[in-house]
Amino acid sequence: MVKRVCRICSLVSETEKQFCVECGTSFFDDGSQSTSGVSTVANSKATASLVIGVLGFVLFGLVLGAIAIVLSSMAKREMRQEPSRYNNKGAATVGLVLGIVDLIAGAFFVGAIF
pTM, two decimals, is 0.62
- CB burial of residue 62 (10 Å; 0-12, 13-18, 19+): middle
Residue 15 pLDDT grade (very low, low, confident, very high; cuts 50, 70, 90): low
- Between residues 66 and 33, which one has the greater pLDDT? 66
**What is the residue-averaged pLDDT of the chain?**
78
**28, 15 Cβ separation under 8 angstroms:** no
Q: What is the pLDDT of residue 33?
A: 40
Among 3-17, 37-51, 89-103, the range with the most confident prediction by mean pLDDT is 89-103
**4, 19 Cβ separation under 8 angstroms:** no
| pLDDT value at 31 more than 50 | no
Residue 39 pLDDT grade (very low, low, confident, very high; cuts 50, 70, 90): low
| pLDDT value at 28 more than 50 | yes
CA distances from 28 to 5, 25, 85, 97 (A): 11, 9, 21, 42
Distance CA 64, CA 17 (A): 45
Write down the domain spans for the chain.
1-39, 44-113
E-strand ranges in the chain read: 3-5, 12-14
| pLDDT value at 32 more than 60 | no
